[in-house]
Amino acid sequence: MSVFDGLRFRKVYSPIHNLDPRIKFGYVIAIFVVAIIFYQVIPLLVLFFMQIPFVLLARVQRQWLRSLRGAAFLATFIFVVNVATTYFTSGYHLTAFNVENAAAMTLRFVVLVESFSVFFLTTSPDHLGLALEESRVPYEFAFAFTTAVRFVPVLAEEAQTIMDAQKARGLELEKGGLLKRIRNYVPVLIPLIVSAIRRSLELAEAMESRAWGATKKRTNLYLLRLHKGDFGLLAITVGILVVAVYIHFFVHIPTIASLF
């Protein structure tokens, strides 16, 4: 469950936490786009290191490292698959360029994970819902989204309890071949899904009894306002995009192999 840990919000106050979620999300999307534009190792490495000041400023380095550790398995997988496919498709031949390419793919994934992780670690579900609402997303959808995010840790905990209950009935999750292992999770997944559905029905009843959707036009206790820092981040975001597009079209990016 360590990947989820990297997405779990904890209440801390820092300049990053106070930023407007819409701008922050814009920033994450910008990083996302830039990571897609480039397929070379050097710019992706730059992107990777660019996030670190944010993490330190938000003081979430521990959780952030944990989410990276959680992504390590998938990252290794991506690297291995990339190297293996080029190796087999190019007639059992591997160049430094191929390896670098695979590394770039992996780095792209890591950059995506790290930027999303920073976003979720520093944005409370409430803020997120508010941001969606103020971006004209219908309240029902915004609410469904924030509820889903909020229930992730609850479900993770429930999954643990269910695993314990089934282990107590002699289920060995780690036993057997790959297929058997996947099948072993059926007794965990069914109760988890059933209880999630049951929980959602209960939640719906509880909300309706508290007059959910009684008025068409809802008001909010907290409103999002843009501050100085938000404009700063907006400027940084635009700057990154402009520089990235410029470099992409007008600058030749050397591969690491060609530097030596």
Partner 1 sequence: MIEAQDIRYSYPNKVEALKGVSLTIKDGEFVAIMGQNGAGKSTLVKHFNGLLKPSQGKVLVDGVQTTKSSVAALARNVGFVFQNPDHQLFSETVEEEIAFALKNFGFQPEVIEQRVTWALNLLSLTQYRKTSPFLLSGGERKRVALASVLAWDPKTLILDEPTIGQDHEQKEKLRQFIMQMQTQKKTVVTVTHDVEFVAECNPRVVLMKEGKIVADGEGKEILTDPALLELSSIVLPQIAQVFTKLAPLGFPKDIIDLYEAKQIILKAKESRNLK
Contact positions vs partner 1 (CB under 8 A): 158, 161-162, 164-172, 186-187, 190-191, 194-195, 198
Report, in Å, the least distance between residue 125 CB and partner 1. Answer: 19
Q: What is the DSSP string of 118-168?
A: HHHHTS-HHHHHHHHHHTT--HHHHHHHHHHHHHHHHHHHHHHHHHHHHHT
Cβ neighbours, 10 Å, residue 162: 17
Shortest Cβ 101–partner 1 spacing (Å): 38
Cβ at position 146, least distance to partner 1 in Å: 23
Decide whether 10 or 227 has the Cβ nearer to partner 1. 10
How far is Cα of residue 192 from the mean position of the Cα atoms in its chain?
22
Minimum distance, C-beta of residue 158 to partner 1, in the bound complex (Å): 7
CA–CA distance, 119 with 51 (Å, rounded to integer) = 11
Composition of the chain by helix, strand, coil, percent to 5: 75, 0, 25
The residue written with tokens 């579900």 in the block is 125
Is the CB of 1 or the CB of 52 nearer to partner 1? 1
Please, which residue, 36 or 154, has the CB nearer to partner 1? Answer: 154
Residue placing its CB nearer to partner 1 in the complex, 10 or 93: 10
Planar angle of CA 13, 14, 15, nearest 5 degrees? 135
Q: Residue written as tokens 């070379």?
A: 40
Q: Which is nearer to partner 1, 169 or 225 (CB)?
A: 169
* Least distance in angstroms from the C-beta of 181 to partner 1: 14
